[in-house]
Chains A and B, each alone.
Chain A
Amino acid sequence: MAVRAEAIVMGASAGALEALSTILPALPEGFRLPVMVVVHVPPDKRSVLAELFQAKCRIPVREVEDKEPIAAGTIYFAPPDYHLLVETDKGLSLSSDEPVLFSRPSIDVLFESAADAYGAALVAVILTGANQDGAKGMLAVVDAGGRAIVQDPDGAFAPAMPQAAIEMCPAARRMSLSAIAAYLQEV
């Protein structure tokens, strides 16, 4: 019945570091799926996210370069000040288009393009955050038949973002961080 998952997309804002620290290091060696992650970071900083998580994770972690082909079992972070998009040929593109909801990278932009590229084979995860980014993107994922996972706003550092996603996609599954970590290893 359910389509076999081919990729995971994830979005987080305020409180992202702690939330991702529960989820990403739990992914086991030999993990099959690529994981594309947008975290809202200030545009003027050289991002340290990829380095930081490479030290903690058991699978490769990279900051995306334009047109990088997606490899299995790799975590990809959007670079600061660029949108990250998935092409239908399963390559990664960057864009300098206007911020969306004041955000670049934008979770909506990643999720919507990934929904186009992967359809029902996509798992989308919205974590803690203080704005509405990701809700529209998650709707696109659900419309394409993909799976929607939202961090339970009750336990979130900043509940606004998961709350907005749930309001837009009532069918999304609410989970705690540790439940999300366990779920992703099973998909």
Chain B
Amino acid sequence: MTESLASEKIEDIEIRLLLEALYTRYHYDFRNYAMASIKRRLRQAREQLGFPNFSAMQESLLHEPSMLPRLLRYLTVQVSEMFRDPPYFQAIRDKVVPHLRTYPSLKVWIAGCSAGEELYSLVILFREEGLEDRTIFYATDISQDALHAAEAGIFTLDRIPLFTENHRKSGGKSSLSEYYQAAYGRASFDKSLRRNVVFSDHSLVTDAVFGEMHLISCRNVMIYFDRLLQDRALGLFEESLARKGFLGLGAKESLRFSPHAAAFADFVREEKIYQKRAD
């Protein structure tokens, strides 16, 4: 090998510096994101925004604030579905809801809510189960774009057949079409679904606990974090949850590799639903 082992690839140096600049200048902290994914997204941004290299992108980012939202769009993009993984929502309905019923009031946190697919899924499920009125839903994300999209509750009509099928498979007790109006190729979800929802800018990387939760659903968000950052977020969830509160993760996420594993018990193992231990 001609390259010295100690030498970092130039592109890696540039990416590290770019993320440092993004943090120092704008306080968006992607420094501990899983690097393989962030690198892919940054390469895509660099190509499509037309920069010859990441140093040029960094210069633009530092001097032109208008570059920030354009870059963030690439870094915060999330692709989800309503009722993604129907068995997860079935398990929430059949196994978690009976416990939640015993509380007079509930707090649910959808951490990393993106465009709101998971939020609307849970609100609809809670309405079907008669729990919506006693629940406050906190929908948080670091992306203003995402929060605006979630608050608007509008999805393109071509996604609705999948959402409908997922809802049905998850044990839905109503028809999804009761909750939206279709027009001009878009499905606009009913604003009554948002009456108990608080939308808020919150970062799992830099922000703190803001309330005592009974259920936290954070699916396919932490897969973008490195292990250090995952541990921070899981610590935040552990602190935020009430005794015997529930934590739902994505289908291929696990507490197995985390030091926080001991604070949780498997509740529905195959659906990655955990319960905070009582002590």
Contact = CB atoms under 8 A, between A and B. Distances in A.
B176 interface: no
B148 interface: no
Contacts of A69: 257
Interface residues of B, number: 26
Contacts of A93: 34, 36-37, 223
Interface in A18-76: 63-69
Interface string B25-63: 000000000111101110000000000000000000000
A85 B40 CA distance: 10
Interface string B202-229: 0000000000000000001011101100
Contact of A94 (B40, B226, B227, B252): B252
Contacts of B196: none
B269 interface: no
Interface string A68-110: 1100000000010011011110010111111000000000010
B34 A87 contact: yes
A145 B3 CA distance: 12
Contact of B39 (A79, A98, A116): A116
Contacts of B226: 67, 87
B39 A97 contact: no
Nearest to B3: A119
Contacts of B80: 96
Contact of A66 (B1, B40, B79, B223): B223
A29 B127 CA distance: 54
A87 to B, nearest CB: 5
Interface of B: 1, 34-37, 39-41, 77-80, 220, 222-224, 226-227, 230, 250-254, 256-257
29 contacts: A63-B252, A64-B252, A66-B250, A66-B254, A67-B34, A67-B230, A67-B257, A69-B257, A79-B251, A79-B252, A82-B223, A83-B37, A85-B36, A85-B37, A85-B40, A87-B34, A87-B35, A87-B226, A88-B35, A93-B37, A94-B252, A95-B40, A95-B223, A95-B224, A109-B40, A112-B40, A113-B36, A117-B36, A145-B1
Given A68-B257, A97-B41, 19 more contacts: A63-B252, A65-B253, A66-B222, A66-B252, A67-B254, A67-B257, A79-B251, A85-B34, A85-B37, A87-B36, A93-B36, A93-B37, A95-B37, A95-B40, A95-B223, A96-B80, A98-B79, A112-B40, A113-B39
Interface of A: 3, 63-69, 79, 82-83, 85-88, 91, 93-98, 109, 112-113, 116-117, 120, 145
